[in-house]
Every structure is written in C-alpha cells, then in structure tokens.
Amino acid sequence: MHDSSNEHTLARVLEDNDHLAEENRLHFLEMGAYVVNFMSAPGAGKTTLILKLAQSLSRRMSVSVIEGDMVGELDAKRLRDAGISAFQISTGRSCHLDAAMIARLLHTEHHPAGRLIIIENVGNLVCPAEFPLGENLRVVLLSVTEGDDKPIKYPVIFRNCDAVVLTKTDLLDYVDFSFENTRKAISALNPEAQIFQVSAKSGEGLDDLLNWLNARYSANHAVTTAV
C-alpha cells in the first residue's frame, strides 16, 4: 500500500531544511564567508584532501572546517593538530548534516569564522544530497577504489553538485576504474559539473582543484563586495 503520509512528512522535512538553509546562507553572507560542502562515501579521502586544501588556502585567507560525524572527533582532532581551526558536529543516528545542525553551531558563542568555511559532511552518497546547508559550492568525492559505477547507482548526489573530485588516483594501477566511463556518466547527469583527478598523497591534480576553488571564491567575493 502506498503511504502518502510518509511522503508528506518527508516533503515537510525537506521544505523546513530548505528554509533553514536559506537562513544559513544569509548568515554566512553577513559573516563574509564562502562555504564549500564536501560530500562522499566513507573512505573516499575527504579529511586528507580537506587538510591539504586548508593548509594551502590558509596562506591567502582565513579558513575553518566544520566536521560532521555520527560519533567521535577523530577527524576534527586531526585537523586541529595540523593547525586548522575545526568545529565538530556529532549527528548521532543521523547519516547526514542538515541545515538545523549548521544553524545551531552558527549561533553558538564559539562558532566557525573565516573567509572560507569548509564543511565535511557525514560519509554517505545518499542522504547529504537532499539536505542543502546554505553552502556556496557542493563538491562530491569519488575514490577510484569505489568503482566507476557510483554515478549510475547514486545519481542524485552527482546531479546536484558543482564539482566531482576523483580521488586516490595513485592507486589506479591496483583497481579496475575507468576515468572515461566515469566522466561520461557524470556529464550525462550534470553537464556543468567540473571534474578533477586528484591524489592527496602524491599531490597530483591538487593545483587544478585549488585554482578552481580560488577562482570561485574570488568571483563570489567580487560580486558580494560590489553589492
């Protein structure tokens, strides 16, 4: 039997989240912050990549990171130990961050600050896709160790992003992964998405990703300054 009440409840939850996400967006704008939401399955290398990016970007702007995990502060501690300002959100049983969690953090006395705020979402290729947080950019990571069929299996998250970063390319010789097939699948879902090939370990491709982030940040800063 089709349960329309469940669909109605979900629609209301998503609508409420969208409303809060817009409030977060305005809050970030008032703060002068540019916000990038990184999403992926567990183990795709989000924390390692974010650490590399934050260390490089912090040379020209203030950077802080919001860490989303169901439990624990391992990733936040790793970033703090490396000198990066990091703020933990523990989601409990929730498999994603939502706009309300971000709003609660933003309204605490000790909240993320900086010209660039990076959000590391909970590892999941499903739920984060439908819960905007008020971010400027959405970036999806896909490691070569996961296989090249993920855009076909999880289309929503790849359809609703600004860029896809294919990670752990230093392991390409040890796995069965086709860049060509992956690019075709992503482009069919989202022709506007930028696609990068990156190894945080070797540094391959990091400059291209950094240059793109810098360009998007600078373009946004120029627009908000003009306004």
Task: Output phi, psi for 198, to 5 deg.
Answer: -140, 140
Give the model confidence (pLDDT) of 98-138 as tens digits.
999 999 999 998 899 889 999 999 999 999 999 999 999 99
**Cβ-based neighbours of 101, under 8 Å, separated by 6 or more:** 68, 89, 91
Residue 6 lies in a domain: no
Residue 22 lies in a domain: no
CA distance 179 to 166: 9
Half-sphere exposure of 189 (CA within 13 A, CB side): 24
SS3 call for 8: helix
What per-residue confidence (pLDDT) applies to 221?
A: 74
Residue 63 lies in a domain: yes
Residue 19 lies in a domain: no
Q: Mean pLDDT check: name the lowest of 8-17, 95-104, 168-177.
A: 8-17
Sequence letter at residue 222: A
Residue 24 lies in a domain: no
Candidates 46, 55, 58, 65; CA nearest to 117 is 65
Range of the domain at 74: 31-226
Instruction: State the DSSP string of 14-69.
Output: HHHHHHHHHHHHHHHHHHT-EEEEEE-STTS-HHHHHHHHHHHHTTTS-EEEEEEE
Residue 20 lies in a domain: no
Residue 158 lies in a domain: yes
Give the bridge partners for 35, in sequence order. Answer: 117
* pTM exceeding 0.85: yes
Q: Looking at residue 85, which CATH number applies to its domain? A: 3.40.50.300
Phi-psi region of 225 (alpha: psi -120 to 50; beta: other; left: phi over 0): alpha
